Structure 1
């Protein structure tokens, strides 16, 4: 059954690519990325955590112009929808919709409605290296139902505002390996079924430097003891000599709906030399009453062609008092 799901996902992507090529001139655009890799915990204080995950991930996204001001958008993901607990090879694959909706243009202001990913922070996506986003990914906002507004402020600034709740529609489930439909009863901050969660972020470019600040409020869900309120600030700079850096700090009170506060600090640097990229990223998470989690990661990326690359990563984790070392290798092809 899982092999059939894998083949179905590949066939679906091929069909999407074919239709996109035919419709390109009609205002239909698409992009896709295929990643095949292995992520191995080679040593750990917890011997049961020492295993390898040989994985496949496919993401495809489209935009289709309906009128000169209205655009439909959407995205599909095929990946393992459960966390591994032992050695795994291309298992637990499920296909799901990660975005789907309509976007309206009012001059330079864009209003998006549907299933979407509100903007909050950058490090969860842009921290460099194979493992660079491993801890900062905790505060990514994805698969939300709601509305976002992106509008320019000044010559080089953008303000993003979103109201939303965690997707509890049929789109929250997957086909193939079922991850199950989300419900309000499942709990978790932001999983309220109401548009009572908000995120906003302002970013601005200063030449080769980009800075951003943001805030968010996630209402308590079933079983939570607190709302979560968060703030984030960050900076990225390209030195123009092959070096660039990114730094971000995010603080949360009532983190994850608990009574604890948590502060994430991430710093990353990349050096590009011809087709090679060398990176280092460190993240520290201070949680009140629970101590400190840490990650230090090194990455080497090799550009093979304009749309393909090989990524290698080595990371040392100290999470929940358990120290571990992970090694990862992936091939990525984009279209």
Structure 2
């Protein structure tokens, strides 16, 4: 979802991971959201890219305490499982399991096993505005089979360590519009069917500031020419006067299993005024041998109540030498 939240708080949630087995007020908790919107490319150097995608996205997640140390978790997503190539309205919808597993608490340390989302970076999730995450989401790690250990370091730090590979079970398929079951034969960096991919990240809070640093290794899959090795570092700060900011840099050797290197630099700022939030974001991607991609965006969000908000954004993209302008509008209801 393209929601605007307090950045420092959201970063902390992302670092801790969706699979936390912390104490709960009840044995079963759940949450979810519905987003309905339209994302339109209103102008482009490539006329075939000028179209609108009217979409719906529904997410639901649960945690169920089995014992005081063991928690089951899971999540479902319903969304369009292919990218739009022409005007589209609520089409290509598929329902799939995005997380499913068990978490084991050992004091304040948590071990999570199953289908999960290892931690690497924050900008792909926490950058404000409708289009704020558009390029940074390239390096999100999601729908992985493996293990994640989250443990506190001191009173204000958290270390997350993961071993994983992309889901190749029947859960990688979807119901409705089928995206097909994944397999190692499909290739792609990290898609090895083995626990030979790793990620580690440490975050530390300094009052209203959160900072993080991480690394990852994705092994070459079929058709790749290189392993991918990545480093990420970032900071988020709440100024206490309505202003929030986030900055993150991620660098990859052998990006995407190719022989190229890529560096993502993301900056974002947001100002909250009563029920309104105004944001400006930008991402620059420098790829060796392929030039520079950029995204600059402005966003306006309006909270209607504690559970409902309207998001509006406009962005200017320059990707692969093609310049385009996009406008998006969405309503988001959380429950």
| Common fold by TM > 0.5 | yes
The equivalences for 1:68-107 within 5 A come to: 68-107=68-107
Count residues with an aligned counterpart.
Answer: 312
Change (3 A) 1:129 1:25: closer
SS in 2 for 1:305: coil
The alignment status of 1:142 with 2:125, answered yes or no, reads no
Query: What residue number does 2:21 align with?
Result: none
Q: Take 1:132 and 1:102, find their aligned partners in 2: how far apart are those partners?
A: 32
Query: What residue number does 2:277 align with?
Result: 277
SS in 1 for 2:304: strand
Runs of 4+ in 1 over 6 A off after TM superposition: none
TM-score normalised by length of structure 1: 0.92
- In terms of fraction of residues, the more helix-rich structure is 1
TM-score normalised by length of structure 2: 0.92
Query: What do you get for the CA RMSD once the two structures are aligned?
Result: 0.8
Shift of 1:66: 0.3
SS in 2 for 1:194: coil
The equivalences for 1:161-310 within 5 A come to: 161-310=161-310
Shift of 1:332: 0.1
Q: Take 1:188 and 1:124, find their aligned partners in 2: how far apart are those partners?
A: 20
Change (3 A) 1:42 1:225: same
Q: Take 2:270 and 2:256, find their aligned partners in 1: how far apart are those partners?
A: 31
Query: What residue number does 1:116 align with?
Result: 116
Shift of 1:26: 5.7
Q: Please, which runs of 5 or more residues in structure 2 have no aligned partner?
A: 1-23
| CA displacement 1:90-116 (0-9 Å, x = unmatched) | 000000000000000000001000000
Query: What residue number does 2:160 align with?
Result: 160
- More relative contact order, 1 or 2 (CA 8 Å, 6+ apart): 2
Q: Take 2:138 and 2:299, find their aligned partners in 1: how far apart are those partners?
A: 20
Q: Please, which runs of 5 or more residues in structure 1 have no aligned partner?
A: 1-23
Q: Take 2:126 and 2:195, find their aligned partners in 1: how far apart are those partners?
A: 28
Shift of 1:25: 7.9
Shift of 1:231: 0.1
The alignment status of 1:322 with 2:322, answered yes or no, reads yes
Q: Take 1:39 and 1:182, find their aligned partners in 2: how far apart are those partners?
A: 28
| CA displacement 1:216-258 (0-9 Å, x = unmatched) | 0000000000000000000000000000100000000000000
| CA displacement 1:127-149 (0-9 Å, x = unmatched) | 00000000000000000000000
